[in-house]
């Protein structure tokens, strides 16, 4: 029997409309969208009074274990002044966690995402080995812990299995990276194939992709091997690219070209490819990205926290490059904050307001909300990110009486949600039509928070 979700307002084709319904079948797919007057007398109606309903948001780039690092790496004395010194705190966090704690931390990260209206996550997973660098009996044990955490919370997950080979060109091994390393490309591909085959037997809310970490961590021949495998199987391919100037310098030193030049030479810049960060661009890079129709995975809250730099979102959008959004290090988990920061950073850079408004012929709020939804779905090869018949019923609602958006007219509501809404306004979150957050609470919330608190107490206040 289908369910008719009936909010006060529903976002349909970029605008909010009164008296609409969302009909969801037993399989969790949307059957229809229509006017409330069309609902028959025998229908099962779930009335979402006082709420507006929107498609669930997509987080394309997460390292869930780093949720344990929040609050522990904000000291210059302890974590240093830049991205490269911050990594040492992150490495200590990675080395400290047991498999069960990785599950507990991931559940906390995914719970917080759902409370923020995020219904799907691309988990860029690079914890593979034991803390002393040995291989687990099951080489995919830690990936499965993260998947198990996602299934427990109810979030849709694309497990992006990450390749990591070395510390960098000409650099000695870094003991902080021993849990990441799989030195042989054939071994990585075998482990990836094993995991993909297992995921295909799991629920429809779990899928698979590949993630060579970066040009500095994955040398060219290895990258060619795994990229070929990804193209053969049609999986998403995500990669950190041009996050720091030192990465560009290292690429030129090793290969004589910038990262995007090399990726273009290898034929990697396709619709399946998502370049995470893509901040420090050189001549011709935007043209290469646009020609390949890739996606950029921007992570503004993390990029702000790490001092990475500002994404040239205006130039990318003008060139037709799609921009999706990720939380990355989980310093802050808020897809809408990432969306608004795409614009806010440009205002500070150009000393202007509404920099992105009207680009591609679209209103500003609609453009930014697309980055938080549909663009992320395309990056992860998901059918979600919008509300249309035949696709999974992944959505969230907001309380129209919440102080942050109270009094909004339907014509201005999306703008207020994107630019002003607090996470406190989110009331319901559903994946496959199943309510996971109800009245701002998850059924397992207390258990998840307490388990995470135990991990934090064991780790202590600093790493």
Among residues 277, 330, 428, 442, which one is catalytic?
277
* Paired sense of beta strands 118-125 and 57-62, if any: parallel
Contact residues for 455 (Cβ-Cβ < 8 A; gap 6+):
68, 97, 101, 104, 105
Contact residues for 341 (Cβ-Cβ < 8 A; gap 6+):
300, 301, 304
Is residue 267 within 8 Å of 278, Cβ to Cβ?
no
Is 132 catalytic? The answer is no
Is residue 186 within 8 Å of 225, Cβ to Cβ?
yes
Query: CA 98 from chain center: how many Å?
Result: 24
Among residues 8, 59, 272, 328, which one is catalytic?
328
- Angstrom distance (rounded) from CA 154 to CA 118: 11
Is residue 342 within 8 Å of 365, Cβ to Cβ?
no
Q: Look up tokens 């000393």; give the residue.
A: 351
Computed on alpha carbons and rounded to an integer, the radius of gyration of the chain in Å comes to 22
Beta bridge partners of 82: none
- The DSSP secondary-structure symbol of 197 reads H
Contact residues for 441 (Cβ-Cβ < 8 A; gap 6+):
none
Q: Measuring CA to CA, how many Å separate 446 from each of 80, 307, 453, 460?
A: 35, 34, 10, 21
User: If you write DSSP's letter for every residue of 344-404 in order, what string do you get?
Assistant: HHHHHHHT-S-TTTTGGG--HHHHHHHHHTHHHHHHTT-S-SS--TTSB--EEEEETTSTT
Token pair, residue 11, equals 């976002």
Is 328 catalytic? The answer is yes
Which residues carry out catalysis? 277, 328
């Amino acid at each position: 029997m289908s369910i008719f979700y009936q909010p006060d307002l529903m976002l349909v084709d970029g605008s909010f409309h009164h008296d609409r319904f969302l009909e969801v079948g037993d399989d969790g797919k949307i059957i229809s969208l229509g006017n409330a007057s069309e609902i028959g007398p025998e229908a099962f109606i779930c009335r979402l009074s006082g709420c507006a309903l929107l498609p669930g948001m997509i987080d394309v780039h997460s390292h869930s274990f780093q949720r344990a690092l929040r609050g522990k790496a904000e000291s210059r004395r302890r974590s240093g002044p830049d991205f490269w010194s911050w990594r040492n705190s992150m490495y200590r966090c990675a080395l400290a966690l047991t498999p069960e704690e990785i599950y507990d931390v991931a559940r906390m990260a995914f719970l917080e995402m759902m409370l923020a209206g995020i219904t799907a996550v691309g988990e860029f997973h690079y914890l593979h080995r034991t803390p002393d660098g040995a291989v687990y009996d099951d080489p995919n044990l830690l990936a499965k812990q993260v998947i198990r955490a996602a299934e427990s919370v109810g979030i849709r997950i694309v497990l992006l299995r990450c390749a990591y080979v070395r510390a960098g060109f000409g650099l000695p091994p870094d003991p902080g990276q021993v849990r990441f390393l799989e030195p042989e490309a054939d071994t990585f591909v075998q482990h990836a194939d094993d995991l993909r085959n297992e995921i295909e037997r799991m629920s429809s809310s779990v899928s698979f992709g590949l993630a060579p970490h970066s040009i500095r961590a994955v040398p060219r021949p290895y990258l060619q091997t795994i990229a070929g495998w990804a193209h053969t199987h049609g999986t998403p391919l995500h990669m950190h690219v041009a996050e720091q100037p030192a990465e560009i310098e290292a690429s030129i030193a090793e290969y004589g070209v910038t990262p995007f030049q090399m990726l273009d030479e290898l034929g990697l810049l396709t619709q399946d490819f998502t370049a995470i960060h893509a901040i420090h661009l050189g001549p011709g890079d935007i043209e290469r990205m646009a020609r390949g129709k890739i996606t950029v995975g921007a992570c503004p809250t993390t990029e702000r926290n790490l001092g990475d730099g500002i994404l040239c979102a205006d130039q990318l959008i003008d060139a037709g490059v799609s921009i999706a959004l990720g939380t990355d290090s989980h310093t802050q988990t808020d897809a809408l904050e990432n969306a608004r920061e795409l614009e806010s950073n440009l205002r500070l850079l150009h000393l202007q307001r509404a920099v992105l408004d009207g680009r591609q012929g679209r209103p500003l709020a609609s453009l930014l909300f697309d980055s938080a939804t549909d663009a992320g779905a395309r990056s992860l090869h998901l059918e979600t990110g919008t509300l249309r018949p035949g696709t999974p019923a992944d959505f969230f609602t907001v309380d129209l009486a919440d102080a942050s958006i109270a009094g909004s007219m339907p014509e201005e509501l999306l703008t207020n949600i994107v630019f002003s809404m607090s996470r406190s306004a989110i009331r319901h979150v559903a994946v496959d039509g199943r309510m996971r957050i109800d009245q701002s609470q998850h059924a397992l919330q207390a258990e998840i928070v307490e388990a995470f608190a135990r991990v934090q107490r064991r780790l202590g206040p600093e790493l």
